[in-house]
Chain A
Amino acid sequence: MTFSTFCRRAGVALLGALFLTSCASVTALEPGPYTYDKAMTIQVGETWTKYPRVNRTKSQGLTIDGSALNTLSLTAKLKAGAPLIYTLDREKILPVFGSDMLLGEVAEFTLDSLSFIGMQNTTLTELTPDQFGDVEAVRFTFTGDVASGLSYQGMAKAAIHDEQLYLILYYAPAEYYYGLHEQEVQTIMDSATIL
C-alpha cells in the first residue's frame, strides 16, 4: 500500500467515523409522552427526528421532513439574560430573554430572534391567551420569509415560570408543509405541561 493510498483510506475512515458519530446523536422520537430537560412534558402523535441538543442554548430541535421543511423547537428553563439562538460572530449582540417581560414581549423576543438568524418580514398575526398546564401562557402565530423568497408560517406557545422561559416554537414553509403537521403541533402544544 502506497503512502497516498494510506492517506486516502485513512481520510475516508475518519470521515466515516465522524459521520457515524453524528448519526448516533440524531434519534427518533416515537409517538407517546416525552419529557424534555426534566422540565416540560409533551404528547407526540407522529414520529419526529430529534436533533442533538445545542448546548449553547436551552433548546431541542425536532423535525419530521427536515429542518427546512418543518422545525419544532422546545425550550425550557431559559434564564434572564440568555439568548434563544446563538452566533459564532462575537461582534454581534444577541436578543436576550428578560424575566420581567410580559407575555406579549416574549412573542416579540421570539420573532426578533428569528429575524436575527435571517427570517425577513417577521409579522405577528395573532396573540391569544393560553395555558401551559397550570401556568398562564400565550399562543401566537406569525409569518415571515427566508432570504430566498420562500414564505414561512409559524406558531408558538410561551410561558414564564419561576422567572424562566418555556417555549414551543414551530415553523414551516407556508405552502403545503405548514398545514401538513399543523394539527399534530396543535396537539403537542395543547398537551404541554411544565414540571
Chain B
Amino acid sequence: MIRLKTLFFGATMALLSACASTNVDPIEVGARPDKTTDEAGLWQQMDEYEKDLRASALLERDPALNAYVRSVVCDIAGEEYCNDMRIYVVKRPYFNATMAPNGLMEVWTGLLLRAENEAQVAFVLGHEFTHYKNRHSLKNWRAQRNASNAGLLLTIGAAAAGAGAASDLGGLVALSALYGYGRDLEREADEEGFDYVTAAGYEGREAAALWQSLMDEIATSDSRRKKRRVARASIFSSHPLTKERIATLQDKANQMPGGVTNEARYVEMTGRFLDEWLDADLVRRDYGENLFLVNKLIARGDRLGTLYFRRAEAYRQRRGEGDDVKAIEDYTKAATYEDAPAKTWRYIGDSYRRKGNVDGALSAYQTYLEKAPNSPDRAVVQLFIDQNS
C-alpha cells in the first residue's frame, strides 16, 4: 500500500512538473518570435538550414516551375501569408513536401511526379500550410519535450517505489504521447488543408484520390519491408492510418460542390520534366513502383515517346525473365513518337547487339548518331559501326 501511494505520488509529481503549454495560437502574418523563446530557437535552426538549401545542388531552379508551384501555394494560403513563405522545389524522387516554422516550404519532385493534377498537389501544400499556420512544429517540439520529461520523471518515481513494471510503463506512456500527438496534428493538417484547398475552388475528391493512388503504388513496391511497414501502421505510427485518412477526406468531399482540377495546366507545367523525374526515380531501383508510375502516365496519353522509353528503361535495368523482349518492344514503340529521346536508338542497338543481330544494331546506332551527333558515347558507338560495317 505504501509502495502504491509512493508510486501514485511520484507519477502525479512527474506529470505536473512536466507540463509546458502546447496551446499556441495560429501564427500571424509577418510575425517573428521573440528571441528569448523556444520558438525562436526552432526558427534559427531552420534559418541556418535554409541558408544551406539555397546553395544546394538539390534545388530545382527552373523559374517557370518555381513560379507555378508558388502560385498554387499562394492561391491556397492567400497573398498575405504567401509573402511570409519561401517555396523551394527540391530534386528528391520521393513523395513529400515539408513546411518549417520559419516559412520555408520544400516541394519534392517525387510529389510533382506522382500527382495527377494541380488539385492533388494543392491538397498536399494546403496540408503543409496548416502545419505552418497552426505552428505545429512548436506544438510538436513542446509535446515531445513534455513527453520526454514526464517519461523520465515517471520512471524515477516508479523506481523509487520499487515498481519495475510501472517503470517500463513510463517509457511506454512517453512514447505513445509523443507519436499520438503527431497523429492528431496530421489529422488536423489533413482536414484544415482540405478546407483551404476547396475554398480556393479545387476539387475536394482529389485529396482522397491522391492518397489512394499512393497506397496503390506502394502495393506494387519491390521492397517487402516497405510494404510491411505500411501494412503494420499502428498506434505508434506518426501518421493516422491511411485508410482512415482516405475515408475522412472522401466524406468531406462528398459534402462539397465540385471544383477544378486544372489537369491540363498541370500537365503543361510539369510534362517537360517527366523524363528527368522518372530517370531519378529509377535510381531507387524500385521497378514495381517505377512501372506503376509510368503506366499511370501512359494512360494519360501525353508524351508517349518519352514514357514508352522510360518503361523500356525499367525493363532493361530490371533484367527479369522476358524483360529484354518487353524492353525492345517499348523502345520500338517509343521510336514512333516525335518526343522519343535519341537514346532510344542507342538502346535498340544495344538490344540487337546483345542478341547477335549486327545489322539491326548497326541501323539503330547509325540513327542514334544522326540524332545525337555530339553524344558523349559517340566514340564507343562509332567503333562498333566501324568494326562491323
Contact = CB atoms under 8 A, between A and B. Distances in A.
Interface of A: 90-96, 98, 100, 102-105, 107, 112, 115-116, 120-121, 124-129, 138, 140, 145-151
B283 interface: yes
B145 interface: no
A116 B58 CA distance: 13
B284 A93 contact: yes
B39 interface: no
A149 B380 contact: no
Contact of A94 (B55, B91, B285, B379): B285
A104 B223 contact: no
Given A94-B285, A95-B285, A121-B57, A128 B225 contact: no
B376 A126 contact: yes
Contacts, number: 67
B286 interface: yes
B56 interface: yes
Nearest to B351: A102
Contacts of B223: 91-93
A148 B52 contact: yes
Interface of B: 52, 55-58, 91, 222-223, 225-226, 229, 280, 283-286, 319, 346, 350, 353-354, 376-377, 379-380, 383
Q: Which of B52, B57, B226, B280 has the most CB of A within 10 A?
A: B57
A127 B379 contact: yes
B389 to A, nearest CB: 16
Given A92-B223, A129-B379, A149-B56, 5 more contacts: A93-B222, A103-B380, A128-B380, A148-B56, A150-B57
A102 B91 contact: no
B57 A93 contact: no
Given A93-B285, A124-B376, A128-B379, A98 B319 contact: yes
- The secondary-structure label for the interface of chain A is mixed
Given A98-B319, A102-B350, A129-B383, A120 B285 contact: no
A107 B286 CA distance: 20
B281 to A, nearest CB: 11
Contacts of B285: 93-96
Given A91-B225, A95-B285, A105-B350, A127 B377 contact: yes
A127 B379 CA distance: 7
Contacts of A145: 57
A20 B222 CA distance: 42
6 contacts: A91-B225, A93-B286, A95-B285, A104-B350, A120-B57, A148-B56
Contact of A148 (B55, B284, B354, B383): B55
Nearest to B223: A91
A80 B109 CA distance: 32
- 8 closest pairs, A vs B, by CB? A145-B57, A120-B57, A127-B377, A93-B285, A149-B55, A128-B379, A91-B225, A115-B283
Contact of B225 (A90, A103, A107, A150): A90
Contact of B283 (A116, A128, A150, A151): A116
A146 B283 contact: no
Contacts of B353: 102
Contacts of B379: 126-129
A95 B91 CA distance: 19
Contacts of A116: 283
Contacts of B222: 93
B310 to A, nearest CB: 14
Contact of B56 (A93, A127, A147): A147
A95 B283 contact: yes
Contacts of A121: 57
Contact of A146 (B57, B91, B346): B57
B377 A102 contact: no
Nearest to B91: A120
Given A93-B222, A148-B52, A102 B354 contact: yes
A72 B354 CA distance: 31
A124 B279 CA distance: 14
Contact of A91 (B55, B57, B229, B383): B229
A55 B283 CA distance: 23
Contacts of A124: 376-377
Nearest to A89: B225
